[in-house]
Amino acid sequence: MLVIFVFLFLDVVTVSMILPWMPSLLETYESEKEWFYTLSKKYIQYLGFVLGFQEGSTWDRVFIGGLLSSLSSLVQFVSSPVAGALSDYFGRKSVLVVLQVCGDIYTYI
């Protein structure tokens, strides 16, 4: 039970740790002309034009930050049934440890 609590606590902490740095990360993506950020921003600015938002406001950065933050929840929603099925077959503790290690390796790469 303690292993599951620690795993879930670390998951929440890792998601919330990036939030204070989100504005500076978005500024970095914008200054480096990151292709995905540039493409997303064009579509979001068009959405703002259709909705009648003022040009030059920071709502587009806020919207992109919200999308990136929500992406974590979406990925967790999609991957949880797969992890549950794997834990039914291989055991809960071993699957949680393997998934945590894989996530850490992916994060550091």
pLDDT in tens, the chain (109 residues): 788 888 788 877 877 777 778 778 777 877 888 788 888 888 888 888 888 877 767 777 778 878 877 887 788 889 889 989 999 999 989 988 898 888 888 777 6
Positive or negative, the Cα torsion across 17, 20, 105, 36? positive
CB distance 67 to 21 below 8 Å: no
The per-residue pLDDT for 89 is 92
CB distance 69 to 61 below 8 Å: no
Domain that holds residue 27: 2-108
> Based on the structure, what is the number of domains in the chain?
1
